Structure 1
Amino acid sequence: MKLLFVCLGNICRSPAAEGVFLHLLNQRGLNDQFIVDSAGTGNWHVGHPADRRMTAAAQRRGIHLPSRARQIELDDLEEFDMVLTMDDDNLETVAGLAREAGKKATAQIKPMLSYGRHHNESEVPDPYYGGDAGFDHVLDLLEDACEALLDELTDSDRKSSGEN
């Protein structure tokens, strides 16, 4: 299963989602079953590591953010099984790319927080212009949604292989 997490600049929310998901995979011993990446809809930060404030907030939770920013490409919509967007603008942009890619766009595109269980928000807020608390809040939302996403994906894998 190949997952791509997408936000605006790929230095705060989507690398955090990637890092949280990788952390969960490591905890559950499922690293070999998933390919995980992140991208931004914009190109301002291409090649840069995650924002230092997001990196610090993640490190306080034992989560490593390994990625370097990149911009989403049309081929990503064929390469990945799922594209998970952080907010409505990202969702709209990715859906537009999917329309442009046509039949090649086989990835399922969903809002990240459609998997959230313990929060009422529908979008992961961009913490870039706020204080440190915003980065922790983003991680709270992403830990919740990533755990539910992984639960759903691994439950469906067990069901399709006949396990109970």
Structure 2
Amino acid sequence: MASSSRKSVLFVCLGNICRSPIAEAVFRKMTTERGVVNDWRIDSAATSTYEIGNPPDHRGQACMRKHGVSMRHVARQVTKEDFASFDHILCMDESNLRDLNRKANAVKNLKAKIELLGTYDPQKQLIIKDPYYGSDEDFDMVYDQCLRCCKAFLDNHS
């Protein structure tokens, strides 16, 4: 299959160890279950350098196991190439959005549509709050939001 016919989405948060790898894993499982995973390039990244090379937060991994979602990811930072190669860059909060828009201004061949993942939430919860300093329940809340948003995004782009 020609890469130009594939759709692509990059999920982004601050450190790429909590919210964005959860969204990536949820979306990958969803596309797999629908039989369209090969139609998509799916990844996640960070706006910061804080966690580069680290695996997802252990609480996020436990949450994903509880929901039967496979998660394999190593944190990385968003690159200029990401802005030129992904169709969609979906981030978690206003700070991520500001950082991404600022970085996008330095990209000559910008392709990606940059928006909040929460814009797809049928429950209208625009922001997916960082669970890093929270509890296991906060990770469950992120999972639930990502599930709703990813379903609506996939429905919208199928």
> What is the TM-score normalised by the length of structure 2?
0.94
Moved over 3 A (4+): none
> What's the Cα RMSD here?
0.7
Q: Secondary structure at the match of 1:76?
A: helix
Query: Which stretch has the larger CA shift, 10-19 or 103-112?
Result: 103-112
How many residue pairs align between the two structures?
A: 152
Counterpart residue identity of residue 28, structure 2: L
What is the distance in 2 between the residues matched to 1:19 and 1:131? 20
1:108 to 108, 113, 128: 113
Higher helix content, 1 or 2: 1
What is the distance in 2 between the residues matched to 1:121 and 1:28? 25
Give the C-alpha shift of residue 65 in structure 1: 1.4
Indicate yes or no: 2:142 matched with 1:150: no
Give the C-alpha shift of residue 79 in structure 1: 1.0
Q: Which runs of 5+ in 1 are unaligned?
A: 155-164
| 1:3-152 alignment, distance < 5 Å | 3-101=9-107, 103-117=108-122, 119-152=123-156
What is the distance in 1 between the residues matched to 2:75 and 2:118? 21
Counterpart residue identity of residue 131, structure 1: S
Larger radius of gyration: 1
Cα deviation code 1:11-67 (max 9, x no counterpart): 000000000000101110111100100000011111111100001001101111111
What is the distance in 1 between the residues matched to 2:69 and 2:84? 29
Q: Which runs of 5+ in 2 are unaligned?
A: 1-6
Give the C-alpha shift of residue 78 in structure 1: 0.1
Q: Secondary structure at the match of 1:6?
A: strand
